[in-house]
Structure 1
Amino acid sequence: MTDIAERDSQTTSGLTEAEAAARLATDGPNELPSGDHRTGFRILLDVLREPMLALLLAGGAIYALLGETRDAAVLMVFACLSVLITLVQEWRSEKVLEALRDLSSPRALVIRDGRRQRIPGRDVVRGDVILLSEGDRVPADARLLSAHDLKADESLLTGEAVPVRKRAALGQDARQTLPGGDDLPVVFSGTLVVRGKGTAEVTATGPGTEIGKIGRSLASVRPETPRLYLQTRQIVFLLAIAGMLVSLLVGGLHAYLSGDWLDAVLAGIAIGMSMLPEEFPVVLAIFMAMGAWRLSRARVLTRRAAAIETLGAATILCTDKTGTLTQNRMAIRQVRLPDGRIFDIDGPQVAEAACATVLHTGRLACDPQPFDPMEQAFHAMSALDGPPDDLTLLRSYGLRPDLLAMSQVWRGDTSAQLTIATKGAPEAIATLCRLPPAARDAMARDMDAMAASGLRVLAIAQGGTTDTLPEHQQDLRLTWLGLVGLADPLRESVPQAVAECRRAGIEVKMITGDYPVTATAIAREAGLDGLSPLTGQELNCLDDAALGERLQKGDVFARIMPEQKLRIVNALKARNEVVAMTGDGVNDAPSLKSAHIGIAMGGRGTDVAREASAIVLLDDDFGSIVRAIRLGRRIYDNLRKAAGFIFAVHLPIAGLAIAPLLLGFPVVLGPIHIAFLEMVIDPVSTLVFEAEDEESDIMDRPPRDPAERLFSAGLIGWSLTQGTVAFAAVAAILFWGAERQMPADELRALSFFTLVIVIIALIFVNRSFRASPAAALGRPKPALLLVLAAVSGILATVNIWPAAQDIFGFDPLHRDDLFLTAGAGFAVLLILEALKPLWHRRSRTASGSPA
């Protein structure tokens, strides 16, 4: 048969190279704006502009100017560490996304100066004549000049998994040009040709395409700033101001009472260091970066680390259907024979001979190497061995707008008999088989029943002849064999993931461009409420208030357009819901960006969707969302533990820095002692608490209140209680040593060792929200063991090595003194574990913490 595309290409010489160059200069390259794509330098600037990090760097600079190099080094090291971790993670995310960009500039076959040329997709211009065939990615929006059995997969734009038919434009065709629906005379950029051939004239490129229009709409959508960052900025600012005021007040008071201005300055610096909240920005940055790293090991890419914490607070998960809940491929689910027998297909093996005959004939009616998902479904049946070796494809009758059926004619090597295999729309097969009215009615009833289950229905027929083949398909003599129902199958992990979301108090809503019947069938399989789906047409009749009410009454939204998805997300946000939105198509991008957490599919997803999202599922596994939510909750829990520890630990440190000045005791804590304590506090509050296991009820409780503050009154109250008990223990040892008239250096060593041991006790208290010494002392993590070993080694060195004693201003402690400090720490642990249930009952929050 004649190559239709080659024949049609001879009707035009296309643009000249000069014309193409002029239009490229005028319109720009045929590519979408890079959106959020960031260079390494831009990522670094974004990190350095973070106010909390700026405060950390400023604090280090101030101490450096004051000559306190050790203190400045501590702050600078942790500042650089947080910058490095964040920079590496963000840069890694961008590099992975760069590798995923597979739709932005496909190669294109065009006619220029009367010759076929293969050029980069970015060089395609308006007016170019492009040649399309099976497997091609359409490089730009174009009007079809010719089409031979042409079908395109437009699911990236419509959410509809089934390919649509195309036909050539008739003159200046004025029909609608929106994606979706059969027999349109246009093709769209980014869509995939799954069958046939065609020639088209480019009408729009780059931002002017349907993909580009959706991409431009993203510019008007502003992503949410994470609440946690706003809260932390506020608390850091307030504590920094308070620390400076206390430092100035106590330093000035000490200078006035003692007249020793040098000691007063050193004491003021020590007090300022003890209260400067530099741990908070470090903790937040490292928790988010480490969380992103942990997710990446589970094949979940985090483009914006702050979204991890927000994901743990999600109250509603809006999900697309095609490619998200489903596998974005067609599979055979049911066969119905003319005698009424029904066969449900659960796998590739088919035992019943009559059913296998229908499927075998259906496969013979497909292309030997298909791109069409429906034809691929027939080939996926392993019980079918394909055409026997002695069969040769002789002729094909393609689909036509007036007869939606196709036939393949096969000839055997040892027989003159020709085998005809036909598949198509049931009404077309009924016409070809010349069915009587009773048989047509029976076929219609079976077709309606299958469609009601969300199945796409094809009819299969076969024939045979030894005569010359007719010119037209309508003249074939065929026998109807049965109906085959196909569906885009649900991902195996989806029902369990949906059930776990519901157990965790997260609503799941499916928003799709597919038909209500299909959407309802998938919803039932997934475990969603699909009894009353809301369609896009019905949604247009609702105002914002009515839509907000309607959103509470159902989980399925069908035939939804992109702007309607965005409206649904905004309506949910107006109800103070924390919205996570999943999707993979260009049509999902605006809602992905508007949602609190946009979750894109990395394998089948488009660049626009990935760059609009905060999280990308590299394996396209819906179940990964639940793992991400679990990790988000764990991170927030551990962040609360770290925050509680930071609040608590600064109280005994500040108290031990201030009390001796007010009571006339020798100064206990100087800048070097505070620097050592910071070397304990920072790694503990970051690495140790970040590595802690999740709480046992983490997915058995509802999402926390979106308005809940990390630094809640309950958390602050619990931290103050811990700090007060800890300071009481340290103060008791200080008074005991003073009463015994210990030398100043020995009293300083005893008080400092007690403070360090008490801080270790606070670490164990804050490891778990549960009131259980076993939970506090059990299951040690390597990070905690490393910190304990380091602290123990340093304390032993300071107590034994004279040079270290000189640096710290200590005298060596005796065995009885060491037992006393250990007893103080153990007493703090027991007292706080005994008090924890009281705070747990009085101040329990939605996250399940005791504060």
Structure 2
Amino acid sequence: MATLPAEPLSAAQASTSLTQGLSDAEAARRLHVHGPNEVLDHEQRSLLRTLRGVLAEPMFLMLLVAAGIYLVLGDLGEGLLLAFFAVVSVALVVFQERRSEHALDALRVLSSPKARVVRSGRVVRIPSRELVPGDIFWVAEGERVAADGVVRDTVALRVDESLLTGESVPVGKRVLTPSGSPGDRDDDSECVYASTLVVAGRALVEAVATGSDTRVGGIGRSLATIETAPTPLERHLRRLVRVFGVLAAMVCTVIVVTYGWLRGDWMQGLLSALAIGMAMLPEEFPMALAVFLSLGAWRLAKIQVLARRPAVIEALGSATVLCVDKTGTLTENRMRLSWLVTDDAEVQMAPGINPPPSVLLLLEFAVLASRPESADPMDRAVLSLGSTMLTGSDALHPDWTLTREFPLSAELLAMSLAWTDGAGQLHIAAKGAPEAIAELCHLDPIRKQTLLGRVKALADRGLRVLAVARGAAPNGVEVGSPRDFAFELLGLAAFHDPLRASVPAAVAQAREAGIAVAMITGDHSATAVAIGREAGIDTEAGVLTGADIEAMGEVALAEAVRRVRVFARVMPAQKLKLVLALRRNGETVAMTGDGVNDAPALKAAHVGIAMGVRGTDVAREAAGLVLLDEDFGRIVGGIRMGRRIFDNLRKVMTYITAIHVPLAGLALLPLLIGLPPLMLPVHVVLTEMVIDPVCSLAFEGAAEAPGLMQRPPRRTDDGLVGWSMLWQGLTQGGWLLAATLAIYFVALDLGRAVDVARTLAVVGLTLGNLMLVGGNVCLGIGLKALVGAHARAYWTVAGIAGATLATAMWEPGMRQLLHFALPTATDLALSLATVALAVGAGITWSAWLNNRTTGLPSTLQGR
């Protein structure tokens, strides 16, 4: 049932309102009163919600328990120190989560949909969140309705309201009755609702409710208590952490019981168990993933590529084929009507020319075949030239009324518009693919051959060619199809759409990266080949047309797309066939699209890429990426960024695995072999103070590997967390564990005090930790990765860690709190040299193992 908060306009008021809309000042006032046109986002994590999540983490709880035990034992200093570390750990996690949330906030602003609104007599595009009640806005096929409203003018509007009603059949809409009442209030046919989808036609709508006042806003309020399900990768990492957590709990229980039973020191056993538990728990896995994906999506957005789903970042690095539209992606989508061709003239459009009457007639009907408010670049080019060349003549027909539209379809690649003049006479104008117009005009074979020859000559120059015809309706006969009219061919209109300057270099870069580039267009084959050749796309195998694709079976098409890289006269439904054929060949497909009918192909592709400016909402929802400025170079830049993000995420996962081996080993092994405890809770936390920031700062900001875009795409079965990565981490961590444990054991064997041996081992572990970070950051890049702006975070963390350890050794109060003692310079130097050699050997050996597994050069081990 429709609910209209305000009485509709009278017919006189509506006429003024529809053309003028609200003034900017009035719109600003209403925006202040009603608030933004957006439903409260319950996905956003507030600071309080972030804090609640952190305080429930096992690591934080174990830290509090350890601090409580020290306080119970009367060790006020150590208890307060652990409590301080607890606060610092909370601050670090909150910083990382808020950093991620701010990145996501920036993405939400970028991804905010746009609305075409009438403001002060002009049609402008504004963010939908700025729409206010009383605004007059346009909706068209493939768009989501921006606000609840009433229909003021429409052409065959049909809306899918299934998200509100559950009914999948689109609903036809009509104009609000002009009597001043909204008609039957039980009938929604005069109303449209926010977030519903326009599946056909277009309309002018008056907004009556925005934001939380809309119907979908009411539904949104009920979603506040529903949690979003984690992705499979997130579930996998959480399961991994849970397994380690259960294992840590079992080990802790055994340690407490064994230590207390054999030595009678239950409190020390509990503290040792807590240290082991904290050391074994790799809680950084899910946090690193969340930080990397959110900041990675933010980095992609900075190069005008919006990642709608985090998983697409992983898929970017493995793309092997890029299927891209020509118009607007490879070209500038800045059409200019450059030639008009009739039977007796061929005129290049230029200022000051005086074309013959046949060319002016051709232009007149080209204008009549273009929708007056069209957003199509060719329509705009025709209308612009028509308004310049036909002004002052009677060829613009301002008194004619658009009576009916026959849109372009898969069966007929032409559109026709029917106009009624002041005397009631019907006039028909059509434009479209020359083959389709030739069919409408029933050309004889000779004239058709002549027409297509001219088309090819123009297309060979890289021009996009349309044919134009005028028609007459049979007297007294109701027509149901353009084929029912009697059409007369008037000539050809040829458009020039220049190639984007960045395209040849970007195509060359993609091919160098092992990625094939395929061009898909609705243009003539000769135009497609000319543009493809200019862009640097492989045209040697020729061109496949939509008709060819339809005629081929699955096997033949799969074989053809192994070689062919240019596809012409392709309809959206045939894009899906191309995607499926490429997938059958084992390719990882990235596909661009903008229309409603492109959605199946975008969804079937491994990486669907929707157009941000001219794309429909349906296409954007089906795609994983949205190209904000529709430049092909951005796609290649997105692949480069995606490869870098994936590389760095693999590196941080390897590092987390590596550092937890010595951390857990040093906490557990001394107890198992009868040595005094080495790692106490405070030492584990000191190490965690290094691990947490480097995960999201040093690794996330690491530079890309040289040759990143010269190596082949990553294999699709090479996942984020795999055995290769785990073995590398275990190898690196094993060497560091062996070195630090040896330092502790040898120091005790040489008669050094326990606190001295502990100091040497913990200092060695910290140096080894920082070296593991540096070594993994350098993999595939070299030592230059530790120089420059990218390395600033690493050196900051290293400097703070070094200063903290130096203070802990030389300041008596800190030494007592940490159970340290001041070692000799010789012992310290030997310990650090031992750790440095061990870490270097571990990283070298892990790279060698990975090289044997993958068969790739060591310079590519950052993959």
Distance 1:771 1:91 in 2: 32
Equivalent position to 2:107, from 93, 108, 113: 93
Contact 2:322 2:591 (8 Å CA) reproduced: yes
1:672 aligns with 2:679: no
State the shift of 1:81 in Å. Answer: 4.1
Distance in 2, Cα, partners of 1:567 & 1:74:
55
SS of corresponding position for 1:598: strand
More divergent stretch after superposition (366-375 vs 775-784): 366-375
Residues in 2 aligned to 1:107 and 1:139: alpha-carbon distance in whole angstroms = 18
Deviations 1:816-838 (CA, angstroms, capped at 9, x unpaired) = 34323432343235434654663
Partners of 1:504 and 1:486 in 2: CA distance: 33
The residue aligned with 2:7 is: none
Indicate if the aligned counterparts of 1:641 and 1:766 stay in contact, CA closer than 8 A.
yes
Distance in structure 2 (CA, Å) of the matches to 1:811 and 1:684: 28
2:96/2:291 contact within 8 Å kept: yes
The change in CA–CA distance for 1:450 and 1:807 in structure 2 (over 3 A counts) is same
Instruction: Return the alpha-carbon distance in structure 1 between the equivalents of residues 663 and 147 of structure 2.
Output: 64
**Residue 310 (structure 1) shift:** 2.3
Which residue number in structure 1 is paired with residue 218 of structure 2? Answer: none
User: Does structure 2 retain, via aligned residues, the 8 Å contact 1:455–1:487?
Assistant: yes
| 2:515 corresponds to which of 492, 506, 525 | 506
Distance in 2 separating the partners of 1:56 and 1:361: 76
CA distance in 1, matches of 2:601, 2:282: 37
C-alpha distance in structure 2 between counterparts of 1:438 and 1:564, whole Å: 31
Q: Which amino acid aligns with 1:300?
A: V
> Is 581-590 or 746-755 further displaced after alignment?
581-590
CA distance in 1, matches of 2:148, 2:662: 64
How much does 1:645 deviate?
Answer: 1.4
The answer to whether residue 802 in structure 2 is matched with residue 792 in structure 1 is yes
Q: Who is 2:209 aligned against? A: none
Look up the match of 1:725.
735
Change (3 A) 1:764 1:91: closer
**Corresponding residue number in structure 2 for 1:715:** 725
TM-score, normalization by structure 1: 0.67
Check 1:57–1:662 CA distance in 2 against 1; reply closer, same or farther (3 A cut): closer
Could you tell me which residue of structure 1 aligns to residue 42 of structure 2? 41
Corresponding residue for residue 156 of structure 1? none
- Distance (whole Å) between structure 1 residues aligned to residue 666 and residue 582 of structure 2: 50
1:199 corresponds to: none
Helix, strand or coil at the partner of 2:771: helix
Separation in 2, partners of 1:395, 1:622: 39
For the residues of structure 1 that align with 2:630 and 2:671, how far apart are their CA atoms?
62
CA deviation digits over 1:746-786, x for unaligned, max 9?
A: 22212111111111221222122249556667886110111
Note the C-alpha offset of 1:277: 0.8
Q: 1:615 to 1:82 in 2, by over 3 A?
A: farther
Distance 1:457 1:613, change over 3 A: closer
Task: Identify if the C-alpha distance between structure 1 residues 824 and 578 changes in structure 2 by more than 3 Å, giving closer, same or farther.
Answer: same
Question: What is the aligned counterpart of 2:814 among 804, 817, 828?
Answer: 804
- In structure 2, relative to structure 1, the CA distance for the partners of 1:300 and 1:774 (3 Å cut) is closer
Tell me the alpha carbon deviations over residues 356-408 of structure 1, each in whole angstroms, 9 at most, x when there is no partner: 99999999999899867447547989xx99679xx8445546999999999xx
8 Å Cα contact 2:703/2:790 also seen in 1: no
User: Which whole-Å deviations, capped at 9, do the CAs of 1:719-762 have from their partners, x for residues lacking one?
Assistant: 22222221222123212311231222222212111111111221
Partner of 1:455: 464
- The structural deviation recorded for 1:675 is 0.7
- In the aligned structure 1, how far is the partner of 2:672 from the partner of 2:63? 25
8 Å CA contact 2:340–2:492 kept in 1: the answer is: yes
CA deviation map 1:99-144 (0-9, x unaligned): 534498993799xxxxxxxx9985345xxxx657xxxxx68259xx
CA contact (8 A) 2:785 2:791 kept: no
Q: 2:246 corresponds to which residue?
A: 241
Q: Which residue of 2 aligns with 1:494?
A: 503
Say whether 1:140 aligns with 2:157.
yes
User: Of residues 768, 777, 781 in structure 1, which corresponds to 2:778?
Assistant: 768
The Cα of 1:699 is off from its aligned counterpart by: 0.8
Structure 1 residue aligned with 2:598, among 556, 574, 588? 588
Take 1:593 and 1:48, find their aligned partners in 2: how far apart are those partners?
34
Q: 1:599 to 1:251 in 2, by over 3 A?
A: farther
CA deviations 1:395-441 (Å, max 9, x no partner) are 546999999999xxxxxxxxxxxxxxx999999x99xxxxxx99999
2:854 counterpart of 1:849: no
Preserved contact between residue 490 and residue 522 of structure 1 (Cα < 8 Å): yes
Instruction: State the alpha-carbon separation in 1 of the partners of residues 799 and 356 from structure 2.
Output: 69
Equivalent position of 1:686 in the other structure:
696
Is residue 649 from structure 1 mapped to residue 649 from structure 2 by the alignment? no
CA distance in 1, matches of 2:260, 2:446: 108
Q: Deviations over 1:325-372 (max 9, x none)?
A: 3333423466779999998xxxx9899x89999999999999899867
* 2:732–2:846 Cα contact (<8 Å) kept: no
The structure-2 alpha-carbon separation of the partners of 1:824 and 1:647, relative to structure 1 and needing over 3 Å to count, comes to: same
SS of equivalent residue, structure 1 residue 603: coil
Aligned partner of 2:321 in structure 1 is 316
Q: Which amino acid aligns with 1:210?
A: V
CA–CA separation in structure 2 for the residues paired with 1:317 and 1:441: 35
- What does residue 295 of structure 2 align with? 290
Distance 1:423 1:681, change over 3 A: closer
Residue 641 of structure 2: which of 612, 619, 631 is its match? 631
TM-superposed CA distance for 1:509, in Å, is 3.6
**Distance change (3 Å), C-alpha of 1:69 and 1:424:** closer
Deviations 1:667-696 (A, max 9, x none): 121111101100101111221011111111
Structure 1 residues 548 and 271: CA distance shift in structure 2, 3 A:
farther
Q: CA deviation at 1:456?
A: 1.0
Tell which deviates more after alignment, 496-505 or 834-843: 834-843
Instruction: Tell me which residue corresponds to 2:565.
Output: 555
**Among 305, 327, 347, the residue aligned to 2:310:** 305
Unaligned runs of 5+ in 1: 1-9, 15-36, 111-118, 133-137, 143-177, 179-185, 190-201, 214-222, 407-421, 431-436, 461-479
* Distance across 1 between alignment mates of 2:553 and 2:431: 42
CA RMSD of aligned residues (A): 5.5
Partner AA of 2:60 in structure 1: G
CA contact (8 A) 1:300 1:616 kept: yes
CA distance, structure 2, for counterparts of residue 302 and residue 580 of structure 1 = 13
Alignment partners' CA distance in 1, 2:549 and 2:317: 30
* Aligned: 1:107 with 2:136: yes
Using the TM superposition, give the Cα deviation of residue 613 of structure 1 relative to its aligned residue in structure 2, in angstroms.
Answer: 3.0
2:84 pairs with 1:84: no
1:431-467 Cα offsets, whole Å, 9 max, x none, are: xxxxxx999997774344325666315699xxxxxxx
1:182 corresponding residue in structure 2: none
Matched position secondary structure for 1:140? strand
Q: Is the 8 A contact 1:329 1:488 kept in 2?
A: yes
Amino acid at match of 1:687: L
Q: For residue 700 of structure 1, what is the amino acid of its counterpart?
A: Q
Q: Against the structure 1 CA distance between its residues 73 and 707, is the aligned structure 2 distance closer, same or farther, given a 3 Å change threshold? A: farther
In structure 2, give the amino acid aligned to 1:107.
I
The 2-side partners of 1:211 and 1:481 are apart by: 30
User: Is contact 2:111-2:306 (8 Å) kept?
Assistant: no
Scaled by the length of structure 2, what TM-score is found?
A: 0.67
